[in-house]
């Protein structure tokens, strides 16, 4: 089905374009505070400094040569990517 503003684009192509636009617009580095992180489960949430919605973080997104964990209240820098289950923090660096 064509998009209402771009009738020449199929809905499949339109979805792909939106994914690309989302990846580009969400790749900027952000800062925030770790809301909580459960090292045993390997995930937690970051509260962005700009006041936007909390972001899921998985231990595999943490950039560290040591044990990949975060502390509650810790300052971090990160980017956001859309994953299979929604937005998630990537390239997380403890500050």
CB 36 within 8 A of CB 45: yes
Residue 52 maps to a domain: yes
Which tens digits make up the pLDDT trace of 5-31? 555 555 555 555 555 544 444 458 999
Residue 18 maps to a domain: no
State the CATH number of the domain containing residue 67. 2.40.50.140
Q: Which domain holds residue 55?
A: 29-94
Residue 5 maps to a domain: no
- Give the model's pLDDT for residue 24: 46
- Give the model's pLDDT for residue 26: 47
Structural domain total, the chain: 1
Which positions ≥6 away from 17 have C-beta within 8 Å? Answer: 9
Which tens digits make up the pLDDT trace of 45-75? 999 999 999 999 999 999 999 999 999 999 9
- Give the model's pLDDT for residue 83: 81
Residue 50 maps to a domain: yes
Residue 40 maps to a domain: yes
CB 51 within 8 A of CB 33: no
Nearest to 76 by CA among 89, 67, 87, 66: 89
Residue 63 maps to a domain: yes
CB 46 within 8 A of CB 55: yes
């Amino acid at each position: 089905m064509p998009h209402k503003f771009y009738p020449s684009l199929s809905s499949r192509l339109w979805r792909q374009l939106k994914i690309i636009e989302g990846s580009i617009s969400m790749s900027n580095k952000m800062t925030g505070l770790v809301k909580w992180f459960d090292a045993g489960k390997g995930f937690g949430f970051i509260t962005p400094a700009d006041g936007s919605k909390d972001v899921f973080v998985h231990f595999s997104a943490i950039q560290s040569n040591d044990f990949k964990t975060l502390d509650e209240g810790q300052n971090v820098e990160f980017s956001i990517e859309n994953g299979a289950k929604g937005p998630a923090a990537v390239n997380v660096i403890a500050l």
